Structure 1
Amino acid sequence: MPAQEVAADQGCGFFTTTPVKVGHCPIKDYSLNYEIHGTGPIKVMCVMGFMASMAGWSEVLNYFLKGYDFKKEASDFQFLVFDNRGIGHSTNGSFGFYSTSGMALDAAKLLEHVGWTEERSVHLCGISMGGMISLELASLIPTRFRSLNLLVTCAKHRPPPNHRFTSEKTILKPTKTVDDKVAGLVSLVFSDQEWLDSADERYPEFKTNRERISAGLKNRMEKTKVPGLKTLFGQGMAVRRHNVSKERLVAIGKEIPDIIALSATADVMIDPECTTYLGQTIPCKTVFFTSKGHNIICEAELETCRELEANFANGEKRWAK
């Protein structure tokens, strides 16, 4: 085992699935912390969004590796999840502007590091800023991917017109306690109050989804370092400067036929019209979840995972050897 890798039981501990491989991929003067979950033949790389750790993929890993009811006995999948530079257990590197194209190069190096290098061997899935990085990665090495799955993202950053500075105000607002910070984050990425106040029978220890989500966010904050201004500035500039041209979007669509773009009508971070644009320009299938917010992985968990599952299947059928 290479020196930069550690035993699987030393993973971040965010997931109910056990990683089969854990490590750090060295890149210049920083490194990416990653985990691989599952041992099936179908490979999926997941790219997380702005200022968020790999823990955000928990529901997706559960669905594909354990089943929605946690009763699955075997799975055909393996998932590569990682912390973008400056987040979780990854490091920052030198201070300066980040870019989504530069972070896509990070992800490409990680694919090489773990040996996922064969043509048409990987399904790519990215959410929010992770979707922006995924578009850049799909433009960089399109023939590596069997499908492209874009969640609440855009070709060029654009918040909803009536929420132009909502995310900045929430993220930069000083908070006295961890509970205050968690409450602010919940209000930012979740919009369906009925769902937040309802219970999920799969988690009987929590009275509501709000209680469950809040407990999960607090757990993540306790297990990882607080991202500093370097990360906030770097990733923030990457989002602000992100721009994938119409010509590149069309080229991606020609290289990767199986693409979906999922959005939420009540998202206050990314304008749902960005997904409409992706669908018309690439072109690709689009799905809009009514009354849901930015974190569709949780608020529309079953619907999102079923869309991913269907698109993975399309890619598998198309590129089966």
Structure 2
Amino acid sequence: MAPPLPPLPSIAETLKHPAFNTAVWQLVPDRSGITPVAQARGGPIKISWEIHGSGPRRLVLIMGLGGMKSAWQRQTLYFGHQRGDEYSVLIFDNRGMGQSDKPLMRYSTSEMARDVAELLAHPDVGWLPGFPLPSDPPSSVPRSLHVVGISMGGMIAQELACLVPAAIASLGLICTAAAVENTTTFSEHMAQRLSLLLPKTPERSIADAARRMFSRAWLASPTDDIELPDPETTPKVLPPKGGGAKYLKFSSNAERFVAQEMNKRLDPDSGFTVKGFLLQLIAAGWHRKTAEQLARMADEVGRERILVMHGTEDGMISVPHGRKLIEMIRPGKGLIIEGMGHVPAVELRDFHRVLEDLFATGERLNGSAMMSGGS
């Protein structure tokens, strides 16, 4: 049995915390915009995006259910600001969330992947010229995209890799699944699904999210491993939005999580809506990729270029899903991390290193392919 959830600070306590207004970092992009996609698919649907950094390695970070592009702030800071001469980092709000449009229609991970591909191909971004690619693309198509997706974002990343495998330099599928299945009893499975739909108080909603997303040990731990942005020394970092010159630490990760959730819910410009959340939930719940589809994708992308990672304490998509995905894809690296929850982008101290290794593998294979005359 899992240890009990450590006490979370109350919303009232969190709002009074001196670090509350510094929980969401003000990272200035090099480029940004709102770009229409899905013109012939029920749109146009406007997608809000940012590119941080100007380096040659192109990272495409795809957020999960209910998440904003700002949820990648640790990776955006590390790759796009502290190493912005090496990397260019594309972050965006999926349809239904943030500053992107929230049309009332049936969402699917395959349609959301086409949103991403069309955004990449649009002159605003210009990272995927020639899309849609032919079924047998020429060897001149560059493998220039390092794609990382978490949770529902990992489902979208699977679909994107099936759609444009020849453009993928590396692929990180993090805490995701080929399909969400019942890995417990039927009653537990139904209770978990229904709990996402039932109305709750903000206190209960945040506590339930914390329980599903993070390990108990991480929530209770201090925030010493978080490197805060320094507006005085880091390129294109503004002081906190709520005033003050510096970003401040919280005493525990649980405090920081509650503060970030309340910033999202209270900020009228955040773009979080229950409607958008439920539409994305439908897309994630109905995601389905067969073993054959994933094997073909892995063949076309190249298994050495693929990372699948999952945590044993993931309460959102249980660890059997990660093991099954590893069995289906047989990636170059399959990691089951003991004690990790659902969001290593926030929780895992060495997540940057894991991604750097993945990107370096993709670049090395690109060099090998160029030397051998392949794609």
Q: TM class by shorter-chain length?
A: 0.7 to 0.9
- Label 1:300 to 1:50 Cα distance change in 2 as closer, same or farther (>3 A): same
- Label 1:261 to 1:166 Cα distance change in 2 as closer, same or farther (>3 A): farther
Residues 143, 366 of structure 2: 8 Å contact kept? yes
Mapped pair 1:63 → 2:73 = no
Query: Secondary structure, in 3 states, of the residue corresponding to 1:19?
Result: coil
Counterpart among 283, 304, 307 of residue 330 in structure 2: 283
Residues 169, 362 of structure 2: 8 Å contact kept? yes
**Where do 5+ consecutive residues of structure 2 fail to align?**
1-22, 38-42, 130-141, 229-247, 371-375
The amino acid that maps onto 2:61 is: C
Shift of 1:40: 0.8
Query: Secondary structure, in 3 states, of the residue corresponding to 1:280?
Result: helix
1:94-150 deviation line (CA, Å, top 9, x unaligned): x22211111111011110121001521111110001100110110011111101100
Counterpart among 266, 281, 295 of residue 313 in structure 2: 266
Q: TM (normalized to structure 2)? A: 0.74
Aligned partner of 1:115 in structure 2 is 126
Mapped pair 1:251 → 2:299 = no
Shift of 1:169: 4.4
Aligned partner of 2:347 in structure 1 is 299
Query: Secondary structure, in 3 states, of the residue corresponding to 1:90?
Result: coil
Counterpart among 207, 220, 225 of residue 183 in structure 1: 207
The amino acid that maps onto 1:51 is: G
1:242-295 deviation line (CA, Å, top 9, x unaligned): 111112111111122200001000111112122222222221121112122111
1:39-75 deviation line (CA, Å, top 9, x unaligned): 1110010111112111221122233245xxxxx4654
Shift of 1:299: 1.6
Once structures 1 and 2 are overlaid, which stretch shifts more, 241-250 or 35-44? Answer: 241-250
Counterpart among 255, 266, 286 of residue 211 in structure 1: 255
Once structures 1 and 2 are overlaid, which stretch shifts more, 40-49 or 117-126? Answer: 117-126
**Where do 5+ consecutive residues of structure 1 fail to align?**
1-12, 67-71
Residues 219, 254 of structure 2: 8 Å contact kept? yes
Aligned partner of 1:126 in structure 2 is 149
Query: Secondary structure, in 3 states, of the residue corresponding to 2:30?
Result: strand
Q: Which has the higher contact order (CA 8 A, sep 6+)?
A: 2
Answer with 1 or 2: which has the greater Rg: 2
The amino acid that maps onto 1:183 is: A
Shift of 1:194: 2.3
Aligned partner of 1:225 in structure 2 is 271
Aligned partner of 1:146 in structure 2 is 169
The amino acid that maps onto 1:240 is: G
CA distance in 2, matches of 1:290, 1:35: 33
Query: Secondary structure, in 3 states, of the residue corresponding to 1:172?
Result: coil
The amino acid that maps onto 1:190 is: F
Shift of 1:236: 2.0
CA distance in 2, matches of 1:318, 1:128: 26
Percent identical residues: 32
CA RMSD of the aligned region, Å?
A: 2.1
- Label 1:241 to 1:136 Cα distance change in 2 as closer, same or farther (>3 A): same
Shift of 1:205: 2.8
Aligned pair count? 299
- Label 1:298 to 1:30 Cα distance change in 2 as closer, same or farther (>3 A): same
1:207-228 deviation line (CA, Å, top 9, x unaligned): 1111112212212223313313
CA distance in 1, matches of 2:217, 2:286: 35
The amino acid that maps onto 2:328 is: T
